[in-house]
Amino acid sequence: MELPSAVKEALGVPYALSPEQIRFYQEFRYLKLKQVLDEPTLAYFNEVISERVMAMNTEYQPLEERTTYGKAFLQLFNLWREDERIKALVFSRRLAGIATSLMQTAGVRLYHDQALFKESGGGITPWHADQYYWPLSTDKTITAWIPLQATPLEMGPLEFSAGSHQIVAGRELKISDESEAVLQQRLRVNDFEHVIAPFDAGEISFHSGWLFHRAGANTSNEMRKVMTIIYMDSDMVLKQPENSNQLHDWHTWCPGAEVGKVIETPLNPLLYSR
């Protein structure tokens, strides 16, 4: 199906960032931006992505029978390869331009995308840092967290530990009950500000791979629908994996990439260059 012309146009318009916003991101490694997507564009992708997630989903086990990770969300990957309309969002120069400016790189490549749909009654997403899972050689990574609807606190929006990318201890923990307990205590001791607030419709957050973050349970009666896009520096080099999850990610999201060389496989296209 053809992308509506108004949606296509909206995805191509640059989003103006102030020097203050870029400085804030560089210091705290997260930033929330309002009105990144207009109402018609958001409504369009809410429908398109929801339809694709329901078609791809294979998780039918009752919530109470799942692990903590399984209760946190329905997780579907690389939707850009399944639907040309979703590819237009993932490849959007508007979003990739923001990622490039915030990281202060020459450009960005796609690492992968994922939909994270937290069901009504879905549990917390424990404290974690995304880059635990990624065999990437530098911290020049950033995730666009795109709620497909307004997201009040009861739906479980992201909570950030501002500036916690500086902490090395805890990076060895995958998403789990252990990461929630250990990091909750460790982040409190380090006195980083915990920032949690609702997301307006069209508001998007960006956070770096080593920033610790979590999300609350969804106590609303609706699905919390979120699309994410993970970007990396266009010159990102593959490192030797340090755990089994990084080994898995290498072969899944960067197949054919070589350790010590720039990741430029067909699954990691260049999305933006200054």
Is the pTM value of this prediction over 0.85? yes
Rounded percentage of the chain residues whose pLDDT exceeds 90: 82
Q: How confident is the model at residue 92 (pLDDT cuts 50, 70, 90)?
A: very high
Higher pLDDT, 104 or 59: 104
Instruction: Place 71 in a pLDDT band, splitting at 50, 70 and 90.
Output: low
What pLDDT digit, counting tens, does each position of 256-269 carry? 999 999 999 999 99
pLDDT band at 29 (very low <50, low <70, confident <90, very high): very high
What was the pLDDT predicted at 89?
A: 98
- Where residue 51 falls among pLDDT bands split at 50, 70, 90? very high
pLDDT of residue 141: 98
151 pLDDT tier (thresholds 50, 70, 90): very high
Residue 104's region, left for phi above 0, alpha for psi from -120 to 50, else beta, is left
Token look-up 């053809």 returns: 2
Beta pairing partners, 233: 108
Residues 96-143 pLDDT 10s: 999 999 999 999 999 999 999 999 999 999 999 999 999 999 999 999
Note the pLDDT of residue 123: 92
User: Which pLDDT score is estimated for 72?
Assistant: 66
For position 259, what pLDDT does the model report? 98
Predicted local distance difference test score (pLDDT) of residue 62: 82
Mean pLDDT over each residue of the chain, to the nearest integer:
94
* Predicted pLDDT at 173: 79
Calpha distance 109→264 (Å, rounded): 8
Side-chain half-sphere CA neighbours of 134 within 13 A: 24
State yes or no: pLDDT of 63 exceeds 80: no
Q: At what angle do helices 93-103 and 5-12 cross, to 10 degrees?
A: 10
What type of residue sits at position 72? A
For the chain, list the domains and their CATH numbers: 5-247 (2.60.120.620)
Q: Quote the pLDDT of residue 122.
A: 93
pLDDT digits (tens, 9 = 90+) for 215-252: 999 999 999 999 999 999 999 999 999 999 999 999 99
Three-state helix/strand/coil letters over the chain? CCCCHHHHHHHHCCCCCCHHHHHHHHHHCEEEECCCCCHHHHHHHHHHHHHHHHHHCCCCCCHHHCCHHHHHCEEEECHHHCCHHHHHHHCCHHHHHHHHHHHCCCEEEEEEEEEEEECCCCCCEEEECHHHHCCECCCCEEEEEEECCCECHHHCCEEEECCHHHCCCCCCCCCCHHHHHHHHHHHHHHCCCEEECCECCCCEEEEECCCCEEECCCCCCCCEEEEEEEEEECCCEECCCCCHHHHHHHHHHCCCCCECCECCCCCCCEEEEC
pLDDT surpassing 90 at residue 191: no
Model confidence at 159, in pLDDT bands (50, 70, 90)? very high
